Chain A
Amino acid sequence: MIAEWTGKIANFALTLLIVTAYGLFMTAFIERIIAKVQGRIGIPYWQPVINILKNFFKRTAVSHGYMFYLGPVFRIAGGIGTLAFIPVIYGSETFSNFSMAGDLFLVIYFMFFGQLGMALGAGESGHPYSAIGIARGLSQMTAYEVPFALAVISIVIQYDTLSITEIVAAQQGGWQNWTVFTNWVATLAAMLAFLGMTGYSPFDIFLAPQEIPIGPPTEFHSAYLSFMSLNRALFGATKLVLFMNLFFGGATGLIELMIKTWLIYMVAIVVGVAFPRFRVDQAIRFFFKIPTLIGIMSIVYAQMMLTS
């Protein structure tokens, strides 16, 4: 029993390391692609790692009270918790993590968890820009979670299971079995929600780098910030793995994982460089209109598929 759990935890630590490193690398890679579009060379590949180290090695840090610590702690706990219940590579003992029968529910809960912790921490900092960023971020999150939840309900109906491993297993045996082809309506709703989740333009109002300095993390610095940027890389990669598992047939190897997640990420990037920013009320209205309707349609579609 103990040996089994030690092995599982060691495997999870390895997965955590690989996914974080991959997330950091991909951040730099995407930055370089954007730089190339703008005719620049862009940051070195290891720049995100250096930034994290630099912030960690800062000599001073100012605290704003106990709740202030909870921001980065809840944030990274949310990131690790989300990854812990997602099978990263299908059919691999090492990368299956703590996947179990109802993990899809737990993962969706954990995705909220980090954001709420961040809201507590940033609220404690007392900076008005943090409060504005949090208000915008939480309202946008409420809006994009609706189509995402509807799409998830649709594929739960379709596959009749709440286990991510079983959802991936049902998509094996060729590209025609992937959810994106069997239930494209749900995939469309989820991908529109994904644009909101990644926080690129047109849905980057809560970070708004020019008007409200950088939104919620305005007051976070030094080691707090290094934890938060570490989580940004980890959580970003985790979300991509989740989307790949639910809609794009999962992965059976690391190379397949990298290619698929990179392509999913590029959807957000291409939309991001092409479209200007929505105001927060426009973003909420957008999510509550078209993607939500598509989400409701996807449930009807899944039900029709099941009965026919």
Chain B
Amino acid sequence: MDFMVFQYPMISVQACLDGILLGILFALIAYGMALQWGVMNIINIAQGDLVILGGYIAYFMYLYGIHPAWGVIVSPIIMFFVGIAIYKLVINKVVDRDLFISILATFGISILFMQLMNFAFGADVVLANSDYGTTMLFNSNVVLPNSKIFSAFISILFAICLVIYMKKSKLGRAIRATAQNARAAKILGVDTEKVYAATFGINAALCGVAGALISITFTIHPYMGLPYTIRSFMIVIIAGLGNLPGVAMSGMGLGVFEEFADYILGTEFRIGSVFLLLVLILVYRRFKLSRKREYLK
């Protein structure tokens, strides 16, 4: 336990800003999860591993001398096709089955990806250096790497583009119709199979963007996927499906929580505190819902 963060206000400011910038990235991943959950009713445990895979694409560009920021464009394109391949091979067989089956199947995909990435890229913690420098604020008491600001900006840009695309385009309308009522959409001539594939592809592409940004700002490692899945799941259940401002807000909240947990409890408890928070939130939600049920009685 270390309460330095409360004794020196500047550290709190640092933690808050770091957390918000981090949280915007989480919100982007959570948006993808909310999309596929809402449309296909699938909880994808492999979400985090898709993020890490996207990160490795950017990292490889960096290794071959291309600036990793271009990964933001390349990685979603590759990940889109990876997502469609996963959908065609596995997900389309579990879409209308029991939810637990889809959780277990995606858990299998997650283990598979983890290990394949471990083989292909090695078990080292890597990061793609972007050379963006840092920004000093408040008399250089608060230090913000420019890469974090860049990644937050790009995430917001992608989120806005996606929202507009969902509202305006034909595919976006088809996706929203399928989310509302898959059977009715099918009757009215929407090719739901295609819509599902596209949804999963878009989700994977979002993960690709987020992964590329994470490889620039933080570090990536083949086994770091599951925490990202849990974070995005948590953000979605706090915000609710189809509530975009909520997703953004709870993403930032989670980011700030994590930074403070990091300062107060120490870095070794950071992931543990995220998982504990998940359990606490689910338990809180359960008591809230049960109270509602009693009220109805």
A binds B: no
Q: Which residues of A contact B (CB under 8 A)?
A: none
Q: Which residues on B are within 8 Å of A, measured CB to CB?
A: none
